[in-house]
Structure formats: structure tokens, C-alpha cells
Amino acid sequence: MRKDIHQMIFRYCCLGIAFMLPVWGKLVPSIIALLILNWLVSGVYLKTIPVLFIDKNRRNTLIFAGLYILYIIGLLYTSDFAYAWFDLEVKLSLLIFPLVFATADIGFLNSKYLSLLMKVYVAGCVIGSLLLTGHAFALWREGVAGAFYYMKLSWYFHSAYFSMYLNFAIVFIVLELLGKFRSLPVYAKALYTLLLCWFFVFIFLLSSKMGLICIVLIAGLTSAELIFRQKRTFFGLGVIILFLMLVRAGLHVFSGTSDRVEQSTETLSGKAAPETSKSTNDRIAIWKISLEIIKSNPLTGVGTGDVKDVLVAKYRENNIGEALELKLNAHNQYLQTFMTLGLPGIIMLLLMLILPMTAAFRSRDFLYFVFLLLFSLNILVESMFETQAGVVWYAFFNIVLFAGMRHKKTKTPVSAFV
């Protein structure tokens, strides 16, 4: 009885985290604290820790804590301990979730529960997007220009982060439609289609360039699924053609998003004037500075606490005013980790992405595979381990999907690729 109560609390904590991440992230640490307290009181780890030596799946789960261990080691050669401790606090989820899931009773993580968790997450994305829309409407009533666009719309979340959240929700909906289309009731098909349209439009309003790239990628993978695995060639071709037409129409309707995409394209090709795409130019300048720092400290990096100070000093030296004023990070997690921890850090980060991605592909777990792919792409332009919105989202869903892939009790596929 006591065991059942603790497992029920564990299950509901996971559902709560999944729901609140896209709704109100400030409540997530409280739910995580409850999950940890429940885990400690349950005492299940007293029985499972000895099993780590013989249970390969549990040991593999702990590997994801490796990067956090390297950040702790980075304290040995840092001088700014105030920032170091703050950084370790932000990244604590990278340690907590692997530790808890590796030593907890996670037999409930079957396909049925994972489907429920993802539906709760999709519901959270709907509520979160409606809250942002309501806030934008209030701004519009006050006469604020561009209230339904970009950062004014995504006032609580960075637009790139919320676009990533929505893209992950889209992946799940697509898998539901592909894998269960014949068995789904008509109302479910209609609801899923409506949600796809809503999330699609919202990503355009958020105007995240990587978000748009990822949604194109999802469409391409969906077409590949239909053409190569389900042998529905004409349907697959129809999907990708329809989608490209919708993207073209979206860029025409949402002119602000179209301008951002065009400016970035011109900047990358060297055709744009510096003032026309300031954010892209600044980001490129920051990446160049980050590479300079990496070249100076390739083996060990600059340390957990000193990376921000070193970046700020370089911004001042190169006269990058806005980056200096805001004390921006590298806006690329690969560069950020390499600067901080050196070669061991970047190797560990790559292994954390490539190895489970390979395992997910071999297991035909499409949901987990695309989750890792989405995150790998998004951290090319954002240092997502430097904020709670990024690190908790990755740490939670990564460990849940990894553990679910390894500990399924049923043979019901998580994805249409099984």
C-alpha cells in the first residue's frame, strides 16, 4: 500500500512537470522538489542502488549525469564561485532526474503512461499558448504595436524555447495520427488537426527562425514515414507539397516573420547591411569570440564560474555593446560547453545526444529520436543549459523517454515506426 502511494505521487509529479513546463515554469521547481521528497521518503533507492551493478539499463540512465559531474569538476579551476554555484543550481536537473530515475521504481513507464504524459504536455502547450494570446490581446487593447508577434507575444518564454515546445507537441500529434488514424474517433482526428493548425500558426507568430526550420524538418520526416515505411507514396508527396504551400502562405501572411527570415538569409550570405539584421550579426560576432576563447583553452575550458566573466571581457574588448550590457551567453550550447569545460565537456555533450539518438533510431522510437534531434538543432542557436526553461525541459523529457524506451512493460509501440 505504501509503495503504491509513493508510485502514484511519482506518476502525478511527472504529469505535473509535463503540464506546467509550457504553462508556468516557475511552479516546476516546486513539483520537482515534491518528486525528490517522495523519492527520499519512499526509500526505494536502498533496494535499487545495489542493483545498479547488475542492471545495465539503470547504469545507462546515470550516464546522463556525467555532464553535471564535469561542471562540478570545473569548480577546481574557477575563481568566480558566486556565478559557479548559481550555474550549478540552474543545471541541477541534469543530476536530479538521472539519479532519481535510475534508482526509482519506474515500472509504470509503459507506452500507455507515456502517451498520457504526452497528452498532458500537449494540453499544457495549448493552455500556455492561450495565456500568451490573452496577454497579447491585453497589450493590443492598450494600443501596443506588434502585440501578437515575436517577443511581445512570447513575453514569459523566449520565443525560440516555446517554439521548440510546440514542435515537440506537433511530433506527438503527428505520431498519433500516423499510428492510430483508423482507430481514432472522428472527434479526436478533428481535435488533433485543429491543434496542428493552431501550433503551426503560433510558431509563425513567435517568429523563431529555428522553430520554422524544425517544423519543416518534421514535415519532411512525416513524408518519409508515409513514403518509405507505410508505402503511401502519393499521400506522402501530397503532405510535403501541401506543407510547403502552407509555409509559403505563412511567410506571405506573417510579414514580420518573413522579414526576419529574409534578413537572416541575407546576413549569412553577406548581402545585408549590418543594421538590417542586428541580432544575427551580433550572434555571429559572439560565436567568433567564443571560438577564440575555445582556442585559448581547448583542453579544460575556462571553468564553471569564469565563463561569463571571460565572455564579458571579450565583449568589452571587441566593443559589442548590447552583448556587454546584457552579459549574453554564447547563444550556442556546444560552444558554451566547450568554452566552460573544454574537450571533455563537448565530448560528453555530444555523447549525451548521439548515443541515445542512435538507440532510439534502432528501437524505432520516433518520438525520442525527434526529441533529441529537435534539441540538438535548437542548441545550435541557443545556450539552453543556461536557463531553467531549456535545461529542465531537456533533462525531464530526455530521461523519461530514455527510461520509457528501456523499461516498457507492454509491446504497444510509442511511435508509428515500430
Give the highest mean pLDDT range of 228-237, 277-286, 300-309, 320-329. 300-309
Residue 283 maps to a domain: no
Residue 322 maps to a domain: no
- Identify the pLDDT of residue 98: 95
Confidence of residue 339 (pLDDT cuts 50, 70, 90): very high
Residue 208 maps to a domain: yes
Residue 280 maps to a domain: no
Confidence of residue 276 (pLDDT cuts 50, 70, 90): very low
Residue 41 maps to a domain: yes
Range of the domain at 251: 2-265+331-406
What distance in Å separates the CA atoms of residue 1 and residue 4, rounded to the nearest whole number? 5
Only one residue has cell 518573413, namely 258
Q: How far is CA 114 from CA 28, 82, 101, 102, 213, in A?
A: 19, 39, 15, 17, 27
Residue 138 maps to a domain: yes
266 pLDDT more than 60 = no
By CB neighbour count within 10 A (0-12 exposed, 13-18 middle, 19+ buried), where does 142 fall?
exposed
Query: Residue 299, SS3?
Result: coil
Q: What is the percentage of the chain residues whose pLDDT exceeds 90?
A: 59
| Domains: count for the chain | 1
What distance in Å separates the CA atoms of residue 139 and residue 100, rounded to the nearest whole number? 42
- Identify the pLDDT of residue 388: 92
Give helix 233-253 / helix 186-206 axis angle, nearest 10°: 40
Number of Cβ within a 10 Å radius of residue 319: 9
- Identify the pLDDT of residue 243: 81
Q: How far is CA 221 from CA 2, 20, 110, 358, in A?
A: 45, 28, 25, 16
State phi, psi for 416 to the nearest 5 degrees: -75, -10
Q: Please state which of the ranges 93-107, 238-252, 267-281, 313-327 shows the lowest mean pLDDT.
A: 267-281
Average pLDDT on 135-148 reads 91
Instruction: Name the more confident of 184 and 271.
Output: 184
Residue 145 maps to a domain: yes
309 pLDDT more than 80 = yes
Confidence of residue 235 (pLDDT cuts 50, 70, 90): confident
SS3 content of the chain, % helix, strand, coil (to 5): 80, 0, 20
Question: What would the DSSP string read from start to end of 254-298?
Answer: -HHHHHHHHHHHHHHHT-S-GGGGHHHHHHHHHHHHHHHHHHHST
Question: What would the DSSP string read from start to end of 385-403?
Answer: GGSHHHHHHHHHHHHHHHH
Confidence of residue 271 (pLDDT cuts 50, 70, 90): low
Residue 180 maps to a domain: yes
Only one residue has cell 533510431, namely 361
Average pLDDT on 103-109 reads 85
- Identify the pLDDT of residue 409: 40
Cβ burial 381-399 (10 Å sphere, 16+ → b, else e): bbbbbbbbbbbbbbbbbbb
416 pLDDT more than 60 = no
Q: What is the percentage of the chain residues whose pLDDT exceeds 70?
A: 91
Q: How far is CA 259 from CA 208, 248, 256, in A?
A: 12, 13, 5
Sign of CA dihedral 378, 383, 388, 394: positive
